[in-house]
Structure 1
Amino acid sequence: MTDIVIVGAGPAGLFAAKEIAENSDLSVRIIEKGKSISERKCPATETGECIECEPCDVMHGVGGTGGMSDGTLNLHPKIGGDLTKFVDRRMAYDLIEEIDATFQKHGASKKIYGENTVEADRLARKAAAADVKFIPIRQRHMGSENLPKIISSFRKYLEGKGVQFQVNSEVEEIQPDGAFIQGKKLESKYVLATPGRSGAVWLAKQAQKRGLDISHGAIDVGVRVEVPSIVMEPIIEVSRDPKFHIRPESFDDFVRTFCTNHEGFVVEERYESYVGVNGHALKSEKSENTNFAFLSRVTLTEPVTNTTAYGESIGSLATTIGGGRPVVQRLGDLRRGQRSTSSRIKRGHVDPTLKSVTPGDISMALPGRIVTNLQEGLDQLDKIIPGVASNSTLLYAPEVKLYAMQIGVDENFETDIDNFFVAGDGAGLSRDIVNAGATGILAARGIIKKEKGQA
């Protein structure tokens, strides 16, 4: 028996384990489902093939989806979630500083982006003139190829503190006093579920089975946009991962930019029911392109409120259209109402960095309202970033962010079930590395507080 079982070794789980190990005598075991080598390309090699190096902790899921990203840390409490919903602004920034310091301790770059306030104000004025909101924030970029070493160092530190890792182990069922793994129950005093974004659907099923309070919020559905790096350079000089919020005219829906990878690469992401896209950026290897997510917010009202299922259905349809691979289309082809072909893409000015794609028509995969939002939004963005909405611009689909389901928790991140806590993206409480880590810390503090009889 262990005192605390943490389900998921992403940022929320890792920072929760750190908080518990450093501030209590409770024993901790992290259970991580992980993914096979064939499903996760190694970011430490140019070919993506596993070379059985030390950073292969990441190949077993340690670090979560964030551990396979470009490693951008958004040092702001309202980006990637809203920490001020859980703590006051001062404590929110204290949590951010702690997470940032921890990543630096384990090898993250010391360089900070977004501190040029004069240029940021100038960009904000230009955006406002195009009826777009620019949000200036401080950021740190760790780099996709550096993340495995950073996560490996973090894991070793936790193991030195007595935290146990059990990887390649899928939790089939959660109970208040433990978890079932391959038919065997691992008993514990507390359970903290932090399965991450990829485990959101699984956690929702667990929550429904236990009768927990669940609310389905908004999801983001859209594309990964790829343009020549020179187009984005003036913006990147001001903000490495610029955040633009847009309200396109036709439907007045919320559209945003997310996860910009300057001189980076579009990559494939495999989920249980569909194939999607993401992006990463390396410090040692550069491309001639820049990519970013361009996402339209989707909410559903009665009688259907399950946005997670809706997002999965869009992803599944896009995968069908792409024959098991993501779909890519030139923006000019989309405007003309024709599908892209390999020859049309070759005639363009953007050489796709993701090769395992199917040229096609994203309007066959994404709802018409979303396609309209994306087209109009890119036209608005083009007024701020000339060239971003050129005919050669590539659109990869689908990019779906399934952080829709939110499990009800109290101020200690405990659910309605005694001794069952949740944190991170999978519980709908965060949407990025920093916010996930912060909610993990807060949940850990809630467990420690309860153990001391103070909750």
Structure 2
Amino acid sequence: MQSNHHDITIIGAGVSSVFLAYTLMKHNEHVSIHMIDLGKELSERTCGLDAGGVCTCEGMCSKYIGFAGLGKSEGKFNYTNDFGGELGRKIGEQTTFDLMQEVDDILCEFGGDIIPTYSTKNEKLSLRARMADMKVLSTEVRHLGTRLANEIFQKIYEVMKNRIMFSFETHVERILKNENGFHLKSNRGDFTTGKLIIGTGMSGSTWLKEQAGSLGLLPGKTRLDMGIRVEMKGDQLESILGDTFETKLKIERDSFRATTYCMNPRGRIIRKHQHGLVMPDGQNVREKDTPSANLNFSLFVPRYFQSHDEAMEFAVNIIGGINQGRERIVVQRLEDFKLHRNTETLGENLVGPSLNGECGNVREEVPELYGMALEEFLASVEKLIGETIHPDTLLYGLDAKFYEPTLPTDENFETDVSNLYLVGDCSGETHSLSQAAASGVYLGKHLGRWDLPVNDNHRKGEPCNE
């Protein structure tokens, strides 16, 4: 019978937690680790959404929670400090780059090297972009694809389960701090631990808010990115895409900054379900047997709200209003958008829609900020490519990327509560698979260097004398 007490317990089995636990067990063979997740193990994570249908899950959707978290979906690792989080600012850019290399080494150890990396760096394009008042964000990318990502994380799980105790479909109802660490009450019984790490990502935001309040942790501001998804002629950006699979562009103005996200040459637009909302999302060409003739991307504008509730209320009001209680997504031709008129039909449109949206007026259904950002962005793109964006380009409303409220942590991700750590997206420092995984490696190394268990909660652990 396995013990209910462990040196370290990790709540959440997403990408950051997986890389943390894997690193920790490699650096400290004596530490006992317990990983808890509300979802299922990877082999049991099935949902109708995976096959393009509707969600078939009871409770929270298995597409988003369970072992590997969002790492099972496309498996796109962007190795960069240009976007995807603020980890470089917290622990140093070079340190972050080095950690992301370690992440890639682990992926390759389990078979990721059969997919070569590609780079989006292009010095000539960067110079041209600056002349058009834009910036090109670059990255090294290893895009595993859904099938390979699942295979890799399953292999990692097979190694980890020999050293780590897993509790799936387990809901931690309450966290109690005591002099020896933490007491966890769950639907599967009680557990105790010396150190506690929370890596619940976006899916656990409501739960984390409740637990933080009971532990006396006060969240800070919450970021919310929203923007219009654009679908254009597949060759419209050919002069700037060059040999790269994706080019990320950014504009900064006095009142906003906006960045392209999830650019998919020859990809399709699909419906994304999050937080009860339905949004237009990009599907990579590698995920579909029948490619599109189009290119699509979202132009995200970040905004900061005083609380997570305020950010979610704003998103629900806007996107929920577009959805109208169903899966409605509004679509409008660029020419109609510029002329402030409704789009009535797409029957003769040169750019054939890859998503069955409802014709309407995006400008009237999204806040002015996002329409203004798109207009200025497209004007800069026209300077960059030296031609007019085709009037039959399609605009879909409204895409969004959600973030966790920030909770203060020190340089080692430890909160104001001794021996309680936050890692990955729920730390507020990472917003991508690569940076989340890197934060896990970082914390795994840090904890692996310390004597365990720690029984004095007023004193940090002492480094091992090796």
Q: Is the 8 A contact 2:257 2:302 kept in 1?
A: yes
2:25 is equivalent to residue 16 of structure 1: no
AA of the residue aligned to 2:445? R
**Which residues of structure 1 form unaligned runs of 5+?**
none
Q: Deviations over 1:106-132 (max 9, x none)?
A: 2324422227x6xx1111122112100
> Please, which of 302, 318, 338 is the counterpart of residue 335 of structure 1?
338
Given the superposition, is the C-alpha separation of residues 382 and 204 from structure 1 closer, same or farther in structure 2, using an over 3 Å criterion? farther
User: 2:235 is paired with a residue of what secondary structure?
Assistant: helix
AA of the residue aligned to 1:245? K
Query: Shift of the alpha carbon at 1:450?
Result: 4.5
Partner of 1:105: 109
User: 1:405 is paired with a residue of what secondary structure?
Assistant: coil
AA of the residue aligned to 2:20? A
Q: Is the 8 A contact 1:114 1:238 kept in 2?
A: no
Q: Is the 8 A contact 1:219 1:308 kept in 2?
A: no
Query: Shift of the alpha carbon at 1:372?
Result: 1.4
Q: Deviations over 1:344-403 (max 9, x none)?
A: 233322333333x44433334432122211222222223335678433222333322222
Quote the Cα distance in structure 2 between the aligned partners of 1:146 and 1:388.
Answer: 39
Partner of 1:95: 99
**Which residues of structure 2 form unaligned runs of 5+?**
453-460
Quote the Cα distance in structure 1 between the aligned partners of 2:127 and 2:175.
Answer: 50
TM-score (structure 1 length as normaliser): 0.84
Query: Shift of the alpha carbon at 1:282?
Result: 4.6
User: 2:286 is paired with a residue of what secondary structure?
Assistant: coil
Q: Deviations over 1:298-339 (max 9, x none)?
A: 134xxxx22663244324432232233252312333223334
Query: Shift of the alpha carbon at 1:405?
Result: 1.6
Query: Shift of the alpha carbon at 1:408?
Result: 0.8
Quote the Cα distance in structure 2 between the aligned partners of 1:129 and 1:431.
Answer: 29
Given the superposition, is the C-alpha separation of residues 154 and 375 from structure 1 closer, same or farther in structure 2, using an over 3 Å criterion? farther
User: 1:283 is paired with a residue of what secondary structure?
Assistant: helix
User: 1:146 is paired with a residue of what secondary structure?
Assistant: helix
Query: Shift of the alpha carbon at 1:2?
Result: 4.1
Query: Shift of the alpha carbon at 1:193?
Result: 0.9
2:462 is equivalent to residue 454 of structure 1: yes
Q: Is the 8 A contact 2:27 2:449 kept in 1?
A: no
Given the superposition, is the C-alpha separation of residues 321 and 92 from structure 1 closer, same or farther in structure 2, using an over 3 Å criterion? closer
Query: Shift of the alpha carbon at 1:194?
Result: 0.9
Given the superposition, is the C-alpha separation of residues 290 and 209 from structure 1 closer, same or farther in structure 2, using an over 3 Å criterion? farther
Quote the Cα distance in structure 1 between the aligned partners of 2:374 and 2:11.
Answer: 36
Q: Is the 8 A contact 1:221 1:311 kept in 2?
A: no
Given the superposition, is the C-alpha separation of residues 311 and 383 from structure 1 closer, same or farther in structure 2, using an over 3 Å criterion? farther
The CA RMSD over aligned residues, in Å, is: 3.1
Given the superposition, is the C-alpha separation of residues 74 and 369 from structure 1 closer, same or farther in structure 2, using an over 3 Å criterion? same
Q: Is the 8 A contact 2:72 2:150 kept in 1?
A: yes
> Please, which of 27, 30, 33 is the counterpart of residue 32 of structure 2?
27
**Rg (Cα) greater in structure:** 2
Q: Is the 8 A contact 2:382 2:388 kept in 1?
A: yes
2:193 is equivalent to residue 193 of structure 1: no
User: 1:380 is paired with a residue of what secondary structure?
Assistant: helix
Query: Shift of the alpha carbon at 1:104?
Result: 2.1
Partner of 1:126: 128
AA of the residue aligned to 2:281? N
Quote the Cα distance in structure 2 between the aligned partners of 1:82 and 1:427.
Answer: 10
Quote the Cα distance in structure 1 between the aligned partners of 2:451 and 2:365.
Answer: 50
Question: How do residues 45-64 of structure 1 correspond to structure 2 at under 5 angstroms?
Answer: 61-64=66-69
Query: Shift of the alpha carbon at 1:414?
Result: 1.2
Quote the Cα distance in structure 1 between the aligned partners of 2:133 and 2:360.
Answer: 31
